[in-house]
Amino acid sequence: MNSKRVTSIFRRITVCLIFLGGSLTAQPYDTPPFLSSSVVSSGNFEIGGKKYYLAELSYSSLSPNDYYKQKSKFEEYLEASFALRGATRTIDSLAADFFVRVTVNYGDASSEYFQLTNKKWESREPANEAHLYNPSGDKSDIITVTETHKGKTYVVNGKLRYPKTSKSCFKQISVEAYSTAGGTERTLFTSEAFEDKGDFKFLSPDEFMLFALSGSYGRKIKEKRLVVAPSDVYYNLFKNLEPGLSLCYSPDGVSSSKKVGLFLIEKKSDKLVLVIEDKNCLALDDKGRDIVPSLRVGDKIINSTKVSYGVPHIIFTRLLTIEFPAIEGDVEKIDLIFHKPGRADKPKYSITG
């Protein structure tokens, strides 16, 4: 997928200078399993309007027979993720504003655990005749390792115990952007998506992890774990690479809370949709949570027409979708505010430009 193809796919991406607001209507949630990915990022670099050159792609696949097909598709989603932020790929390295190095890795780790006598504390794998320490720092009972026809067992105070085995499979996508000057590389930003599950088959696909990564390029994110339903409309627009996509990522606004941020903007002729990342800060669907979102345009307050979450209240970051009527004319500044009904003059949370 070359840069012209990306431009065609996202030809209606617009530059949105928006700052945020909302209100909640009851709706049934999607049901598990949900897609999830942890994202961390460092750096401060604006990629909008710039060209990048894919200098290196180290791709791993769990299906050797589909390796080249999967790698090609991964490149398409990678381009799309940058296109949503206003950056386009170039095949001419001399024309690039920055370079990108990408790595996709899989791995697994197995470990054995055992319970101390009549306690739920778990310790690390013991050495023979060793005194171990449980997580509280107290000395445990004497534990002996024995090999039997069934494999390794533990003898704890004369009682035979079999270890518990746990397996963790992980997937990691790392994106590093850098510039070169005088033959020296300078890192501009690094973004990483990571997920671990009990089996490889439960790990999220490339397209979701890149969807989660897109908003992190060039930004500092300590860590977020985004959880989305597979049927989420915006994830599926990205997943299916819909032509004429009217989506764009937000410019950098100023949020009153590090747990609230603008993720996506969709502009249509009849409505404006803001997709918010809510890390248990707003929780508008919580019982008794009497907060609504609104747009503040100058001295005018515009109420939302629909507010919804795709997944129930969980401890990770989820997407809050807020719809507003279309805004006519040129607007210099818009704020999204969250406030008690009838008290837009005293917002509790806001995102301003």
Q: Which residues contact 304 (CB under 8 A, 6 or more apart)?
A: 21, 22, 23, 292, 293, 294, 295, 322, 323, 324
Residue 74 to residue 141: CA distance in whole angstroms: 51
Does residue 281 carry a pLDDT above 80?
yes
Of the candidate ranges 110-119, 157-166, 167-176, 227-236, the one whose mean pLDDT is the lowest: 110-119
Higher pLDDT, 123 or 316: 316
DSSP string, 276-323: EEESSSS-TTSTT---EEEEEETTEEEE-SEEEESS-S-SSBEEEEEE
262-286: burial string, b at 16+ Cβ within 10 Å, e else: bbbbbbeeeebbbbbbbbebbbbbe
Tokens 């890390």, residue located: 279
Average pLDDT in the 324-347 region?
87
Continuous segment of H or E residues that includes residue 6: helix 3-9
Q: How far is CA 3 from CA 92, 234, 334, in A?
A: 11, 22, 32
What number of other Cβ atoms are within 10 A of residue 113's Cβ?
12
Backbone angles phi, psi at 190, to 5 degrees: -135, 135
Nearest residue to 253 via CA among 333, 177, 189, 192: 333
pLDDT in tens, 295-316: 998 888 999 999 999 999 888 9
Continuous segment of H or E residues that includes residue 222: strand 221-228
Cβ proximity of 193 and 103 under 8 Å: no
Average pLDDT in the 28-45 region?
92
117 is written with which tokens?
Answer: 């006598």
Cβ proximity of 209 and 195 under 8 Å: yes
User: Can you give the pLDDT at residue 158?
Assistant: 56
145-156: burial string, b at 16+ Cβ within 10 Å, e else: eeeeeeeebbeb
Task: Please tell me whether the overall predicted TM-score, pTM, comes out greater than 0.85 for this model.
Answer: no
Q: How confident is the model at residue 20 (pLDDT cuts 50, 70, 90)?
A: very low
Q: How far is CA 244 from CA 50, 232, 252, in A?
A: 21, 18, 24
Q: How confident is the model at residue 352 (pLDDT cuts 50, 70, 90)?
A: confident
11 is written with which tokens?
Answer: 């030809």
66 is written with which tokens?
Answer: 């589909």
Q: Which residues contact 252 (CB under 8 A, 6 or more apart)?
A: 46, 219
Q: Which residues pair with 196 in a beta bridge?
A: 170
Q: How confident is the model at residue 255 (pLDDT cuts 50, 70, 90)?
A: confident
**Amino acid at site 225:** R
Q: How confident is the model at residue 6 (pLDDT cuts 50, 70, 90)?
A: very low
Q: Is the bond leading into 33 cis (omega within 30 degrees of zero)?
A: yes
**Amino acid at site 218:** G
pLDDT in tens, 180-207: 988 899 999 999 999 999 889 999 999 9
User: Can you give the pLDDT at residue 124?
Assistant: 43
Q: Which residues contact 198 (CB under 8 A, 6 or more apart)?
A: 166, 167, 168, 169
Continuous segment of H or E residues that includes residue 337: strand 334-339
